[in-house]
Each structure stands twice: as structure tokens, then as C-alpha cells.
Structure 1
Amino acid sequence: MMSQIAFAILLAFVSVTFAQQTNFVDKESKIGHFFEPQWFRDNIPFVEVPIKEIEEVYYYRWSSHKRHLRYTIPGNGYVVTEFINNIGYSLKYDTINAAAGHHIRESRWLRDRRYAQDYINFWTRGGGDSHSYSEWIAEAAYNSFLVDGDEDFIKSQLEGLVRNYKRWDDHYNADWKLYWISPERDAQELSCSSFQSDDPFWGGEGYRPSFNSEMYENAIAISKIAALVGDFNMFLEFQQKAEDL
């Protein structure tokens, strides 16, 4: 009985301490100078870092991320753009799949789930070109689920994520069990391997570790989503794809 009372007192102390700590950061000093500060209050995790340069970069990154959030049309919702201003060679809504994994992983921390989920939907069913560059959209989508716990949403993405994955079959060597790609399509143009070819920008195709690592992580993520859905055959299929890599 005494141990139960002691535990209850400890739990109450921890709860009060935690509640106090969650309001400890002076939010206004961090974001008061930003445009539309209420958006930051409503959405971002607040931290306080002893090294002020790191803290400044942290909040700057959120201000930068916000500038790249763009509402498109009803039914598509929000995307994250490559550039703030329109660039002639940019793709639909100024998006780029090469950075989509980064964008999703950052958006997953926003309290408003529309930003991450609309953007994932864009790549799986909203007309985004997921095949322009190498990508790890499935991996990022699954890690977004680990933050928000929205099982229904991540299950709804399985078909599109599998379709995106299999679009890379034309870059797969079944004998070597590796994916090949050029440095440029791996978003690493003008790299060492491309300079060893006749075309330093577009050339240098090879079995790049970066691309194969992304496909490994995508396969693992899809297998885990398949397990959530209860599709055991797909779970085994993508587990095997990952093991082969």
C-alpha cells in the first residue's frame, strides 16, 4: 500500500514538472519576428538550445519550410515546393521528388496533419512525378506515420507506394540484384562518376549506393505497411526485395 502511495506521489510530481516544462520556452522570443507567427505557435515543436546559433538555424529552417508550403487546388491540397519562385524547368506545382523524402520528414512534425498527408497523397495519387529522380518517399511516409499514428491514412497509401516502387523496375539488374541510375537522376550531377564519362552532367550511369539504399528503405517501409494492412504475401515480397539489396 505504501509503495502504491509513493508511486502515486511520484507520478503526480512528474506530471506537474512535465506540465511546467512544456510551457517553459519563451515562444514569442523565438518566432515573434516571423510573418504570421500564429502559424508557428499552432504547428511547430518549440525547443531551446544552449548554443544559440543552432537554435537560430532551427527556427530559420521552420520559417523556410513554411515559405515552401503551397496550397494548390481542392482535392490536391498542400505541397512543398522546390523553389519559392517559379523556375522554368520545375515540375507540377514547382515540386521535385528528389527532395520529397526530406520534405515529408520535416512536415511530419507539424501539428496540422494536412501538410504531410496532402503532400504524400500528391506523390501517390495526385499527379506528382515520383520517377524524375531517385527518392525515398515510402520510407518518409512510413516515418510520418510513426509520428502521427494515423493507421488508416498510411494503409490507404500502400497501392500508390507500391506503384511508385515498381516504376523503377526498368532500372533494376535482376542478375546483380542492384538498381542503376545516372548521377544526375540521383540528384548528384557533376559528380566523380559523371566526370569519368563523356558527359559530365548527364553521364556516369552506375549501381550507386545512394539509390540502392533508398530503394532498400522503401522496400522495408512498404513491407511494414503491408503488414499493417494484413497482406502477408506483399509483406514477404518486399522483405525479400530488401534482403536482395
Structure 2
Amino acid sequence: MLSVEDRAAIMAGLEAGLSQTRIAHLIGRSPSVVCREIARHRGPGGVYQAEDAGRAAQVARRRPKKRLLDRDEILRRRVIFDLSQGRTPRQISGRLSVEACGTVAPMDNSPHAQGRTISHEAIYTWIYAHPKKTLIEHGVCLPSRRWMRKKPPAGGRTPPIVGMRLIDERPDIADRMIPGNWEGDLIIGKDGASACATLVERTTRYLIIVALPLGRRADQVC
């Protein structure tokens, strides 16, 4: 989090005409942090005031916070309607984004979102926070038919490859002094109609190209 001194330095830098990157360097922060701070807390007329920005940041950090769909009636009505039509949160989020940009016209049969957007993760969080009975009353049902997140396995995720060695456990071959280390890759042709595998010996740069007429699935490549 930015301190009072950081915000005062940002305000002084802006008044002096410094770039956001230069300000970030002076206070020892990432340029993206300074950029977001200024964009979020500009006051009327686009003027950044450190004291006002600090108060706004303190309010934003208060917990618990209402979810976006609980705060915005227009957005909630649109999302609930689209969910009831069988659309996924990703589809809804993507459609709202292109509607807000003016790329496509609003959907005729859906409530107008009036330029509002929301991430698919925010929609999932809102769904999983409500009991199943409430969601059924609104006609909300995910295509996966799940009403809560899947819990991770108790022992953690198992590697998809039996006996797999992590890359950190393999010997360092950055100097390419010892031959015999091969690197594999996959090249996919136009429109995914064809594919070939490549094998490169790291020391000699010897290349083998193998056609994959049967397809590019793991068993077909083997």
C-alpha cells in the first residue's frame, strides 16, 4: 500500500510536470502502481490531491464490501437474465466488454447494461455466495450444473505425467557443453489442419522434423 509520504510525492511530482515513470522511480514503486493510483483517485478536473486520495483508499479498503452485482441493480438484472438463458459467466463478461466498447450493439432480448462491465470471476463469486434455493428462484443455473467451487484434493494436485521430473530438478544445461540434451516442440499448420514435431539437440543444434499425419494428440505423437 502507498503511504502518506508516497502520495505526497506523487502529487508533488505531478505538479512539477514529471512523468509517472519518473515519479515511480523516485518513490521506489512500480510504474503500474503509480498509474493505477492516479487513475483511481483523480479529483474533479483530473487533479490529484494526496489527502483526498488517502481518504478514498481508506474507504475502498473497508471490509466487508458489497459485491458489484449486489451494488448495481442494472448490472445484476442483466447478468441474472443472461445466466437464466444458459450463458456462462465468461460469455456474459466478454459480451458486456464489447458492448461497452461499442464494438457490437446491445443484445435485443437482454436488459441493457448501459455500458457496465464485470469480470467472469466476479460473477462466479456472486453465484457461489448464494444458496442453491435462491439461485433456482432466479432461474440461475451454470452449464456445469455446479453450485459451489470444487474443493482441491486433500493431497494436492497430482502431476498429469507419471514419474514426471520438475524442470527445477533437472541438470542445468545453459552452457550446452554436454551433448545429448534434446528439446521438443510442436508446429501447427494453417487452421490447425496439419502439424509436425521438432527435436533439437541443444549442443550441436541438430534438428529432426517429424511429420504427424495421424494428428497432434499425445498418443498420436508417440
Q: Which entry has the higher C-alpha Rg, 1 or 2?
A: 2
Structure number with higher relative contact order (C-alpha < 8 Å, ≥ 6 residues apart): 1
In the superposition, the TM-score normalised over structure 1's length comes to: 0.28
In the superposition, the TM-score normalised over structure 2's length comes to: 0.29
Greater strand share, 1 or 2? 2
